Each structure stands twice: as C-alpha cells, then as structure tokens.
C-alpha cells in the first residue's frame, strides 16, 4: 500500500476525488456501477496512470464481496496482458480497520480500446494482438464470457491488456450492454445449451480476430436467435454427435429444424489473411466448444512461432477462491479487504523480450 502523503481534493463530474498530491491533471475516462476511472500524471515519475475509485465498497454485503473479489483478482493477475494493480493502492484516511475504505487503485494507463480502432489491421498487428489476448487468457483462473473489443485496452505500440472486473473504459453508445456482448459470445453461452469451459473465451478471440482482419463485425445478430442463425451460416449446422451433447430438448429440436447450412470456406471469408491465420480462425470458430483449443493449445500454433516467449506463457499461479462462495457479514468482508490492502506488493515490471516495432497508427 502507498505510504501516507499529503492529499489534494477536487470534484470531477460530481464525484469527489482525494488523491496524493503527486497525482495531477485528473481526467475522467470511464465510469460504471461500481467505480469511476480517471487518467492522471504521477509528477514524481512523469508516468501517466489510470486511477479507479471504488464507489461505496461497503454499502452492503454484496458490494463488499465484490470489492474483495476485485482486489483478490487484480492482485493475482500478475501478467503484462491482464490489467492488474501493478502500481499502487491508496486510501485518503488513517490506515486502520475502523476507518478503512479501499478507495483507489492505481494501474497502468492505456491509450484506447479495440472498439475505437476502425478498419482492417495488417496481419502482423492482428497476429501480435491475438497472441497477447491468448497470453492473458492463459493465466486467468475464471471464465470471462464478456471478452469484446471494448474490454481490450491497447497502447500506440500495440501493447494489449484484458480489462475485466468492471474496469472497462467507457465506449461509444453503440458499443455497450448486452448487444455488443452478444456479438462476441460463444453459442453455447447464448442460450445456455450445454456445459461450457474456458473455450468460450476462445470463440470471442476468434470473433475479434475476424473483425480485425475484415474491419467489420463477423456475427452482428439483431437478437439471440438471429445471432445463432448468423453463426451457423458460417460454421454450418452441426450433426447428430453435437446435438447429443445438448442438455435442452428445445435446443435439440431447434437445431434439427434448421436448414442444412454447410460450413463456409474461410479463405473466401478472409481473402487477405494468410493460410496460417485462416487455420487459427477455423480452429477457434468451431460450434462445439469441446473441439476448440484452450488458450494454451492455441498459443502452440505455428502462427505464433515468431512471437512465442516462455515468460509470456508461463504456468498460471494457483488462485485461492476459498471465499468466493462465502456469505459473510459486512464487517467480515471489510476485514478481508483490509487484509488484502495491507499485503499489497507492487507488481515488478519485467523487461519484455518481445521485439515489437509495431504501432497502432502505421
């Protein structure tokens, strides 16, 4: 936790911010139900950072549990391609349990997100960005189910971080809510047809990769049924082996009633992509989640041979989820949050071995 220092106080969009004086030029860049995010300059290091203020973390047991889980996950995600509290935590009060509010999290600032990057991207950029998505997913101990361009922060040098836990930047009016989530959501999740695993996120990566190559959303369904119809016009309608896996009788009947769409030729869908890029897409965009590769297996594809670094794909650390299903009192959740803040140690940044000369503006 950051040592106590002189604090300054200012109001930004009707929210009072109390931050150490070294953080200047605060500007709101995002807001949500659980917090607001401002960009700022650390005058001591001259580094631009993002500061998140948690909204009323101890308003109720539900809010407190979420604050605790966010602190736990952000501290756990020690990887360059996942947004984490790598810099600091601070509170504008004397550091004691009775006054404790875990108000502010300091994280690296990211220039924009993929939802604001328009048009087709060159293949070397697509390759590098998809590689980083997979590296980030490799170390996450949970299913995202919400991976979309607006939750992928990028810098001018093509550095990417997966945003989650309510930390996504604000996006354009069109790119919000369930509509955009549906466009990138795996078919097995859309109607809860069957059990699903972390390959639901691989489907999302495939959709995002396809969009970066062609410059437009691959499956832009008007509703859930239209979304599924658009998906199957590309993947083909599945056969009896897949239908047997479906838990829902209604889902089985629905699939059987569909016209027999054949699987489309991906080389015609993505005429500018290389053979290896098309092979990656074909493996990710498979209707049956059991057949899709995990992030670990996807990273072994030859498409990523020029980028692969053992440090990027290291084994994820075990995540302690012992309190995730607990029903505790407000004071107990507060005590757990206090413990997390006290034990916080900044994440040491390593010198990346990636030989990256790419920029988003080239």
pLDDT along the chain (362 residues), means of 10: 72 88 92 81 93 83 83 76 73 60 80 88 95 89 72 90 52 38 85 72 96 94 88 89 82 83 93 96 93 94 92 75 81 86 69 59 56
The DSSP code for 287 is S
Q: What is the CATH number of the domain that holds 285?
A: 1.10.510.10
At 178 the pLDDT is 46
Under DSSP, is residue 296 helix (H, G, I), strand (E, B) or coil?
helix
Indicate whether 25 and 173 sit together in one domain. Answer: no
At 177 the pLDDT is 37
The active-site residue, picked from 146, 164, 201, 312, is 146
146 is catalytic: yes
In a domain, 9, yes or no: no
Which residues belong to the annotated binding site for ATP?
A: 53
Q: 350 and 311 in contact (C-beta within 8 Å)?
A: yes
Give the closest residue to 146 by CA, choosing from 205, 68, 61, 99.
205
Indicate whether 117 and 37 sit together in one domain. Answer: no
Give the closest residue to 85 by CA, choosing from 350, 341, 355, 351.
341
Separation CA 15–CA 354 (nearest Å): 40
Indicate whether 63 and 180 sit together in one domain. Answer: no
At 354 the pLDDT is 53
Q: How many domains are contained in the chain?
A: 2
| Number of Cβ within a 10 Å radius of residue 206 | 23
In a domain, 299, yes or no: yes
Separation CA 305–CA 301 (nearest Å): 7
Structure tokens at 52: 């998140």
At 245 the pLDDT is 82
Q: 58 and 143 in contact (C-beta within 8 Å)?
A: no
Which pairs count as long-range contacts for 246-251, CB under 8 Å and 24+ apart, including other chains? Answer: 246/193, 246/194, 247/193, 247/194, 247/195, 248/191, 248/192, 248/193, 251/191, 251/193, 251/194
At 294 the pLDDT is 93
Q: 39 and 49 in contact (C-beta within 8 Å)?
A: yes
pTM: 0.82
Which residues belong to the annotated binding site?
A: 53
At 350 the pLDDT is 54
Q: What is the CATH number of the domain that holds 57?
A: 3.30.200.20
Indicate whether 206 and 255 sit together in one domain. Answer: yes
Owner of token pair 């930004």: 12
Under DSSP, is residue 335 helix (H, G, I), strand (E, B) or coil?
helix
Indicate whether 185 and 197 sit together in one domain. Answer: yes
In a domain, 361, yes or no: no
Task: Print the domain residue range for 222.
Answer: 112-312
């Amino acid at each position: 936790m950051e040592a106590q220092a002189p604090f300054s106080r200012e109001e930004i969009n009707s929210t009072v911010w109390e931050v150490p004086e070294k953080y200047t030029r605060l500007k709101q860049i995002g807001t949500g139900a659980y917090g607001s995010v401002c960009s700022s300059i650390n005058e001591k290091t001259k580094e631009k950072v993002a500061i998140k203020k948690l909204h009323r973390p101890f308003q109720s047991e539900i809010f407190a549990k979420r604050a605790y889980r966010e602190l736990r996950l952000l501290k756990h995600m020690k990887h360059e391609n996942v947004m984490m509290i790598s810099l600091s935590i601070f509170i504008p009060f004397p550091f004691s349990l009775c006054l404790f509010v875990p108000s502010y999290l300091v994280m690296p600032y990211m220039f924009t997100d993929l939802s604001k990057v328009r048009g087709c991207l060159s293949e070397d950029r697509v390759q590098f960005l998809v590689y980083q998505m997979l590296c980030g997913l490799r170390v996450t101990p949970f299913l995202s189910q919400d991976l979309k361009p607006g939750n992928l922060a990028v810098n001018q040098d093509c550095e990417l971080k997966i945003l989650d836990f309510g930390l996504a930047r604000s996006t354009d009016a069109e790119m919000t809510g369930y509509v955009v989530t549906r466009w990138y959501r795996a078919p097995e999740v859309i109607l809860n047809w069957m059990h699903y695993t972390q390959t639901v996120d691989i489907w999302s990566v495939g959709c995002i990769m396809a969009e970066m190559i062609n410059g437009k959303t691959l499956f832009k369904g008007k509703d859930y049924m239209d979304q599924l119809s658009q998906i199957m016009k590309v993947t083909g309608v599945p056969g009896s082996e897949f239908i047997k896996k479906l838990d829902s009788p209604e889902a089985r009947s629905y699939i059987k009633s569909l016209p027999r769409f054949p699987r489309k030729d991906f080389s015609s869908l993505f005429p500018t992509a290389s053979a290896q890029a098309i092979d990656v897409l074909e493996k990710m965009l498979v209707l049956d989640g059991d057949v899709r590769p995990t992030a670990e297996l996807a990273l072994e594809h030859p498409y990523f041979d020029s980028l692969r670094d053992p440090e990027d794909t290291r084994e994820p650390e075990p995540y302690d989820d012992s309190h995730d299903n607990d029903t505790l009192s407000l004071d107990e959740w507060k005590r757990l949050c206090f413990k997390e803040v006290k034990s916080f140690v900044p994440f040491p940044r390593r010198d990346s071995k990636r030989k990256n000369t790419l920029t988003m503006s080239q």
